[in-house]
Amino acid sequence: MSLTQAFKNITKNEMREVLKDHGVTLIGAGLDEAPMAYKNIETVTAAQTELVDVVAKFTPKLVRMANDGSREG
């Protein structure tokens, strides 16, 4: 999903609920960093089997990104 689509289609409450449901603590993030804005990683890696070797998988428990999609200096 593009940045524009994320801002139009995802609310901060929706993002917080998804992260809460997955046990992730949100310190700061714009809607463009919402989990729903990303393609499914399993689908992406499955389409790239000739290019990548999956060696590990991790589950984030803490998210810290720039608020509202801006970059922090």
Instruction: Decide: helix, strand or coil at residue 62.
Output: strand
What residue type is assigned to position 71 of the chain?
R
Residue pair 66/32 in contact (Cβ under 8 Å)? The answer is no
The whole-number pLDDT of residue 54 equals 87
Q: Is the pLDDT of residue 73 over 50?
A: no
CA–CA gap between residue 29 and residue 50 (Å, rounded): 33
pLDDT at 66 > cutoff 70: no
Q: How far apart are CA 46 and CA 31, in angstroms?
A: 26
Q: Which residue has the higher pLDDT, 42 or 62?
A: 42
User: How deeply is 71 buried, as exposed, middle or buried, from its count of CB atoms within 10 A (0-12, 13-18, 19+)?
Assistant: exposed
Residue 67 in this model has a pLDDT that exceeds 80: no
pLDDT at 21 over 50: yes
